[in-house]
């Protein structure tokens, strides 16, 4: 079990149960879309975010991104990290049928996948020193690589998201955030610039 500095927020109790088996950190639930109408819960999450930081880990389906984007707009941006699980087809064991989009959610992910998602998000693990600052990838870099602003940009972004095992629902801005977690600008350009 790894100990995290940040708290985590997930969609539901099954997601919470899964993570509590893997990490020593507070894990809170949004009760699905419930957080959107619960000012007290949102206020509590703001306090937690200010106090110790927060990692948002939602399912990779459309509903998960609606919840993530709501929280992203409501919480202090400088203290929130985003962990993304890959798009993996399937259904959770407890369910009779797959979800609407046919993707596994947080509760259905293998422990290694969840821990890797937290590492990629920049989770602060106890006993590890934070990495030094890196040169960020910019929107201009994405434009120069044809990932935004061009006729084939959406298809190129989807291909890159698939290659990196990131959810297909990511906007260009969310993808930029994820890329900056995964890569230094130089590493990214070396790996993905046309040769």
Strands (E), 61-151: 80-83
Percentage helix, strand, coil for the chain under 3-state DSSP, each rounded to 5: 50, 10, 40
* Helices 39-52 + 62-74 axis angle, to 10: 70
Closest CA relative to residue 83, chosen from 169, 20, 9, 157: 9
* pLDDT given for residue 166 in this prediction: 80
Q: 80-83 and 27-29: which strand pairing?
A: unpaired
The pTM for the full model equals 0.76
pLDDT of residue 101: 87
**pLDDT tops 90 at residue 30:** yes
List the beta bridge partners of residue 80.
54
Alpha-carbon gap, residue 16 to 1, rounded angstroms: 15
Q: 175-184: per-residue pLDDT in tens?
A: 888 888 778 8
Residue 107: phi, psi to the nearest 5?
Answer: -65, -25
* Distance in angstroms (rounded) separating the CA atoms of residues 124 and 129: 8
Rounded to the nearest integer, the mean pLDDT of the chain is: 89
Segment 119-173, tens digit of pLDDT: 989 998 876 655 556 788 999 999 999 999 999 999 999 999 888 878 888 888 8
Question: What confidence tens digit (pLDDT) does each residue in 11-28 have?
Answer: 999 999 999 999 999 999
Instruction: Give CA–CA dist 37/136, Å, rounded.
Output: 35
pLDDT computed for residue 132 by the predictor: 59
Nearest to 19 by CA among 34, 33, 6, 35: 6
Torsion over CA of 109, 112, 113 and 118, rounded to 10 degrees? Answer: 120
Of 59, 35, 37, the residue nearest 45 (C-alpha): 35
Q: Which structural domains are found in the chain, ordered by start?
A: 2-121 (3.40.1360.10), 139-192 (no CATH)
Of 25-29, 37-41, 60-64, 99-103, give the lowest mean pLDDT range. 99-103
pLDDT tops 90 at residue 67: yes
The tens digit of pLDDT for each residue in 84-93 reads: 999 888 888 8
Q: How far is CA 66 from CA 8, 34, 88, 144, in A?
A: 17, 12, 19, 29
Q: How far apart are CA 113 and CA 165, in angstroms?
A: 11
Q: How confident is the model at residue 32 (pLDDT cuts 50, 70, 90)?
A: very high
């Amino acid at each position: 079990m790894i100990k995290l500095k940040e708290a985590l927020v997930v969609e539901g109790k099954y997601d919470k149960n899964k993570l509590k088996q893997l990490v020593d950190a507070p894990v809170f639930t949004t009760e699905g879309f419930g957080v959107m109408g619960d000012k007290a819960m949102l206020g509590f999450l703001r306090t937690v975010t200010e106090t110790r930081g927060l990692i948002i880990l939602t399912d990779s389906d459309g509903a998960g991104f609606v919840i993530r984007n709501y929280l992203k707009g409501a919480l202090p941006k400088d203290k929130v990290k985003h962990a993304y699980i890959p798009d993996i087809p399937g259904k959770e064991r407890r369910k009779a049928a797959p979800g609407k989009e046919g993707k596994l959610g947080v509760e259905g992910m293998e422990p290694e996948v969840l821990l890797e998602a937290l590492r990629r998000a920049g989770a602060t693990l106890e006993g590890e020193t934070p990495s030094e600052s890196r040169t960020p990838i910019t929107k201009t870099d994405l434009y120069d690589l044809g990932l935004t602003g061009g006729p084939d940009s959406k298809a190129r972004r989807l291909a890159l998201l698939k290659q990196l095992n990131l959810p297909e629902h990511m906007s260009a801005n969310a993808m930029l955030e994820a890329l900056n977690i995964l890569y230094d600008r130089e590493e990214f350009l070396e790996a993905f610039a046309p040769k």
